[in-house]
Structure 1
Amino acid sequence: MVMGFILPVNMIFINKNLHQSATMAGFALMVYSGLMMVGNYLGGILFDKLSRKWTLQIGYIIAVISLIGMTFHHVWPSYFFMLSMLGFGMGISYTAINAYTAFVAEQTIGDSRVLFNNMYLAANLGIAVGSTSVGFIFEWSIFFTFFIPVIFFLLCLLIVFFKSATLDATNEEAEKTHEFTVSDEGVDPKVATGEKRYRLNLIILSLGVFIMWMGYTQWDSNMSLYMVNNGFSKKEYSMVFTVNAASLLLIQPVMNRIASKLFKLLKNQILVGIIIMGLSFLLLPNAKVYWMFIVSMLILTVGESMVFPTIPALLNKMSTTKNRGSLQSLYTIMGSLGRAVGPYVGSIIVMILSFGDLFYGITAAMILVALSLKGVKELEK
């Protein structure tokens, strides 16, 4: 919900309220994304080496302090500094949440994909509610636009403070309640896979996440210009994301059941999902009527429901208790990098070539990345 609150209004707030140029606003958001990546990386190390609970708490504390500053001090360049620190804090906490999910999934009875799917669904629901609400709240009060996220993060701090013992429960501690099953840490996936092949697995997955987010983020950036140029309103553009969020609530549970039965190996589910995502962009070069954009988004939603929650699950299969946080940080870092450079690269392609070439290029890149997943060696466990 905080992500949904903060991201949609920053560009407008910096440009219109703080009277900075659009270029400066774009630069500020790029630095925000850059420091989020640093936070992603540091969060993984702290989670593995220091403390699971305190990694999450540190991220939330930094975010709360930054948001309090943004709430009461609307002055440039102080706002720029606080926004950057917010990205850093959220990067730490985001990786810690993913790593905690992997930690619990490793010990949970049944298919761990269910837990990752539920987390992904919760995240998208939060972003949908936040981004829908902030449009009204921003017009009503700038103060509450930033202060409501402070309340949310304070609630997160309280949850972790009082429930960290539950989150940190080990197999041995929880066996008595039959909540978990003992996981086998006797086999190191790196050793079982082979060091070179293991490294190749990580390279392929990292590249895949980067390419997917570069393509996906075109909907958040250059697509607005494309739709406006084709005679559609900003309201019609924003409605596409409402369709995405609403349809995901229906598609995600269905795809979760279907995929768990069809695909024994997670890499095959990811492969098919990426191809579906890529093919969704083929409708856009010749999209002249509104329903074509809606259908494109629905196809993309089917693909993302198969891919985005499954990659962390696959990384979890490749990890041990010693590197679980670090591998989850790899996913968040490459996702942040794709979101940071995607809009800029897309705009350059459009400027030099055309929107059609951009969409065809995304499809080709995603299909190539999907096929490269055949080279990933996944352990059957």
Structure 2
Amino acid sequence: MRTAHGKQPADEIKLHWLLLGQLLTWLGSSFIWPFTSVYLHDHLGVSLALVGVVLLFNCVANMIGSFISGWCYDHMDPYVLLIVGAALDAAVLFGMALNHSWPLYWLWMTLTGFLGGWNGALINSIATSIKSKPGRYVFNMIYFAQNVGVVCGTLAVGYLYDYSVTLLFVIAGLLFVGVCVNAIINYRPMIQFHKERLANKGESKKKSFEPMPKYNLIMSIGFFVTIAVIWLMYMNWESNLSVYMVSLGIPFHLYSLLWTINAGIIVIVQAILSRFTIFKSLFRQILFGTLMFAISFVTLIFAKDFAHFALSMVILTLGEATAMPSIPTYVNDLSPDSSKGKYQGLTLSASSIGRALGPLFGGLIIEDFGYIQFFAVAAIGIFLLLVMLIPMHAKLQKKLKLFPELSN
């Protein structure tokens, strides 16, 4: 049974348990991805080109996992799906602890990518079932928990990596055991939620399988393109920019410090957004975040020392903290109840496409033209997203049907 904001229905999990699952998931993930490139290249002797292929497989698998998981959420019991996904992720990580040699590491990374997408899409989809709190608040808190996990995870890896890689895999596996146990104990209301969905299908098949309205779909596609392009450019901060900074004589540890700054600012901004209404609408928040992404790449054109790179990162992070949680929130409002999981999965899949192709896209432009030219291409590309979104939303706004009926 659905209730007004502020009341906790029996078929709804408590938000803090969902946030704990998100926190543990990203803690576990953050024990793996920061050191993968260095470990493969420096310890296993894998070429940088092949490392890029491994990361591509990881991202593509993540995209596939997100899509399949989103579909499964709409048709199967989310309680079972998340428990199975978390348990399998823990098993893979324990397998990595036992044997992290090449080329088995490639297989492990592909599997963790798939399961990361699987679990991520499920948590986002389960978040859509929470009706006792506004959707914007729920997704802001989900993103907040994610970045607390990233902050703690990446800081811990910096100290534990030199001590033992095996220990990192074991800790990550234990964290996903925690995700599994948390789900088993605290996600049981999803069983009732799924039973009610099945009952609704029996009572009204037409209502249960309500398709996304035409104009909602067009607007959602605009958001999918936006998040894919942003990640296409953003991924070069995680890959090619480190080489550029080192070439300018900036120590690698200062590049790593940028990510601590990134995660810290996200935590602060999300804490503010979860308590105060800064933007009058979700769409304005998305526009602001997209604009910040574009400006950050403009400032990179002139960055030659750490202070300027730090400034660019601050601007980039303001964009990330505002746009990234707002897009899945708006897509949720545009999605009928019968297909919310599907479109959350597609949102994550769009992100994964950008993540997968970003380093290759940036690398090709940098190799042929140079870093400054890439920064210009990235800035122009993201500015063009604004040129697309603003008139699209202005034309479609009055034709959009929102689920639930909230003001945007």
1:124 aligns with 2:147: yes
Tell me, which stretches of 5 or more residues in structure 2 are unaligned? 1-26, 197-205
- CA distance in structure 1 between the aligned counterparts of 2:292 and 2:44, rounded to whole angstroms: 41
Which residue of the partner structure matches residue 36 of structure 2?
A: 10
Q: Is contact 1:214-1:342 (8 Å) kept?
A: yes
TM-score (norm 1): 0.89
Which residue of the partner structure matches residue 338 of structure 1?
A: 354
Q: Is contact 1:278-1:367 (8 Å) kept?
A: yes
- Equivalent position SS for 2:37: helix
Tell me, which stretches of 5 or more residues in structure 1 are unaligned? 174-184
Which residue of the partner structure matches residue 79 of structure 1?
A: 105
Which residue of the partner structure matches residue 250 of structure 2?
A: 232
Which residue of the partner structure matches residue 182 of structure 1?
A: none
Q: Is contact 1:281-1:363 (8 Å) kept?
A: yes
- CA distance in structure 2 between the aligned counterparts of 1:12 and 1:288, rounded to whole angstroms: 25
Describe the shift of the 1:82–1:2 C-alpha distance in structure 2 as closer, same or farther (beyond 3 A). Answer: same
Deviation (angstroms), 1:172:
12
Q: Is contact 2:209-2:338 (8 Å) kept?
A: no
- Equivalent position SS for 2:307: helix
2:233 to 215, 221, 233: 215
Q: Is contact 1:44-1:96 (8 Å) kept?
A: yes
Q: How many residues align?
A: 362
1:30 aligns with 2:30: no
Q: Is contact 1:210-1:335 (8 Å) kept?
A: yes
Which residue of the partner structure matches residue 340 of structure 2?
A: 324
1:44-64 CA distances to partner (integer Å, 9 max, x unpaired)? 111111111122122212212
- Read off the aligned partner of 1:239 and give its amino acid letter: L
- CA distance in structure 2 between the aligned counterparts of 1:22 and 1:159, rounded to whole angstroms: 38
2:272 to 246, 250, 254: 254
Deviation (angstroms), 1:170:
4.7
Deviation (angstroms), 1:252:
2.5
Map 1:138-177 to 2 at 5 A. 138-167=161-190, 170=193
Q: Is contact 2:242-2:255 (8 Å) kept?
A: yes
1:339-363 CA distances to partner (integer Å, 9 max, x unpaired)? 1110111111111112111111111
- Equivalent position SS for 1:309: helix
Q: Is contact 2:208-2:338 (8 Å) kept?
A: no
Which residue of the partner structure matches residue 278 of structure 1?
A: 294
TM-score (norm 2): 0.83
- CA distance in structure 2 between the aligned counterparts of 1:53 and 1:117, rounded to whole angstroms: 23
- CA distance in structure 2 between the aligned counterparts of 1:269 and 1:172, rounded to whole angstroms: 36
1:311 aligns with 2:318: no
- Read off the aligned partner of 2:93 and give its amino acid letter: L
Q: Is contact 2:77-2:190 (8 Å) kept?
A: no
Q: Is contact 1:256-1:306 (8 Å) kept?
A: no
- CA distance in structure 2 between the aligned counterparts of 1:187 and 1:31, rounded to whole angstroms: 35
Describe the shift of the 1:168–1:281 C-alpha distance in structure 2 as closer, same or farther (beyond 3 A). Answer: farther
- Read off the aligned partner of 1:125 and give its amino acid letter: V
- CA distance in structure 2 between the aligned counterparts of 1:172 and 1:326, rounded to whole angstroms: 19
Q: Is contact 1:35-1:85 (8 Å) kept?
A: yes
RMSD, matched Cα: 2.3
Which residue of the partner structure matches residue 63 of structure 1?
A: 89
1:263 aligns with 2:280: yes
Q: Is contact 1:62-1:85 (8 Å) kept?
A: no
Q: Which runs of 4+ in 1 moved over 4 A?
A: 167-173, 185-191, 255-258
Q: Is contact 1:277-1:300 (8 Å) kept?
A: yes
- CA distance in structure 1 between the aligned counterparts of 2:313 and 2:184, rounded to whole angstroms: 39
Describe the shift of the 1:118–1:139 C-alpha distance in structure 2 as closer, same or farther (beyond 3 A). Answer: same
Identical residues among aligned pairs (%): 27
